A = this chain, B = another copy of it.
Amino acid sequence: MDAAEFRRRGKEMVDYVADYLENIEKRQVYPDVEPGYLRSLIPEEAPEEAESYEDVVKDIERVIMPGVTHWHSPYFYAYFPTAHSFPAMLADMLCGAIGCIGFSWAASPACTELETVMLDWLGKMLKLPEDFLAGTEGRGGGVIQGTASEATLIALLAARSKIVKLIQADHPDRSETDIISKLVAYSSDQAHSSVERAGLIGGVRMKKMPTDSKFSVRGAALQKVLEEDRAAGLIPFFFCATLGTTPSCAFDCITELGPICNAEKIWMHIDAAYAGSAFICPEFRPLLNGVEFADSFNFNPHKWLLVNFDCSAMCQQRKRSQLPFMSHWQIPLGRRFRSLKMWFVFRMYGLKGLQAYIRKHVGLAKEFETLVRADQRFEISADVVLGLVCFRFKGSNELNETLLKRINRARKIHLVPCQLAGKFVLRFAVCARTTESRHVQEAWSHISHLASELLQELPH
């Protein structure tokens, strides 16, 4: 394919993409296929001879679309959102064309520099303390990671390296492996599985802290375990706080936890993967209070800030941290020109447009909450703070599991569950950019209808 054909095919693809997105709600949100469906639809080997573009493109609807879970359908309420916008897609086209690998400044100066400035723009939107910005000095500040998992791992490794150096400064005879064998890291029992994996990869003990009735880790809980662990000869070195947990969007109490971590020389990393985007709104910014105690902070503009995946923003507190471990703050060496999509999105929405977007989603979640609360058969299982509503039948876990199965089997909307304090709970996350009140109303009336059917079948 030469440039001339690309002009034609690219424009056709732009139309295909626009058609797909304009009509996405007509597609069934969750596919009907069974595991292994795809293999039989295509040859077992790559073709010897080149095929025509027509042949490839017609297979999109035949092979791919029947197996797609449509994350950008307004009937998709599962997991957390993944961001999606037209400006981000345009920027990604440019990123693909430039196709540089920004592993060093010289490898493409614009790639490194725009990223640094975009992370500063983002830091200012979030009103992060000055120390989290690169500023004109160009030291510290933020970088784009692929995912929050990578950010947590990098933070843990940096903290591990820092504590080893700190201890060896006083005890030059202690080996690294001996020190590492005594290290202990902490996170909430509500934390994402990637936090536990970071501990496994880093080869350190990871303890899950109990949470209070709001699913939040409190200072007293940390204080208690620290005392026990120090008494047992362990070395606490890392605390991963979550702002906006995956099950229920709960917030660890970093205003209590931060001062403890600072006093005890424990690296505090904040994982605000989903919730972080909301902090650009003044009314949600208090949820980030305490960030000044953190050594590193991460959230995913690719979740809720209209920047297509992957774009996970990680900032470090310059004074305290100075990531001692690696010259590059990341696992992979190569990197795409991902800041282009931040630049396009921030400019074409403007801060006000981004805030309006967050508020719209929170409003839709509140609207759904109101519908649930108005139905005596249901209860809300956790505070609705942002765009997630956790709810359930007042009844057994089994009943709720059955309800969820029926909801997902009906294929009209798509939800996933969570466990909260031993209870099976349904999560309703406002996800798609195009979700409107009518979709939320429709979703609720559908759930309510399936609930009535289910209750009618029960023995009295």
Residues of A within 8 A of B (CB): 1-7, 9-11, 13-18, 20-22, 30-31, 33, 35-39, 42, 44-51, 53, 55-56, 60, 63-72, 79, 82, 84-90, 92-94, 96-101, 105-111, 113-114, 116-117, 120-122, 124-125, 136, 138, 146-147, 149-150, 153, 157, 160, 175-178, 180-181, 193-194, 197, 200-203, 302, 308-310, 325-326, 331-334, 336, 340, 343-344, 346-353
Which residue of chain B has its CB nearest to the CB of A106? Answer: B69
A201 partner, pick from B85, B136, B331, beta carbons under 8 A: B331
A117-B38, A153-B331, A197-B326 known; A18 vs B7 contact (CB < 8 Å): yes
Residues of B within 8 A of A56 (CB): 87, 343-344, 347-348
Residues of B within 8 A of A308 (CB): 96, 99
> B38 touching A109 by the CB < 8 A rule?
yes
A86-B1, A108-B68 known; A97 vs B21 contact (CB < 8 Å): yes
> B194 touching A50 by the CB < 8 A rule?
no
Which residue of chain B has its CB nearest to the CB of A121? Answer: B46
A68 partner, pick from B18, B110, B332, beta carbons under 8 A: B110
Residues of B within 8 A of A70 (CB): 98, 100
Of the candidates A2, A176, A332, the one having the most CB atoms from chain B within 10 angstroms of its own CB is: A332
> A46 touching B13 by the CB < 8 A rule?
no
**C-alpha spacing A18/B46, complex, angstroms:** 27
A68-B98, A86-B9, A100-B71 known; A347 vs B110 contact (CB < 8 Å): no
Which residue of chain B has its CB nearest to the CB of A136? Answer: B39
> B66 touching A13 by the CB < 8 A rule?
no
Of the candidates A30, A31, A90, A105, the one having the most CB atoms from chain B within 10 angstroms of its own CB is: A90
A-B contact pairs, 29 of them (CB 8 A): A2-B86, A9-B90, A10-B14, A10-B90, A17-B96, A20-B98, A30-B106, A35-B113, A38-B117, A39-B117, A46-B124, A46-B346, A49-B352, A56-B343, A63-B114, A64-B114, A65-B110, A68-B100, A68-B110, A70-B98, A82-B101, A92-B93, A147-B331, A147-B334, A149-B331, A160-B203, A181-B181, A309-B336, A331-B331
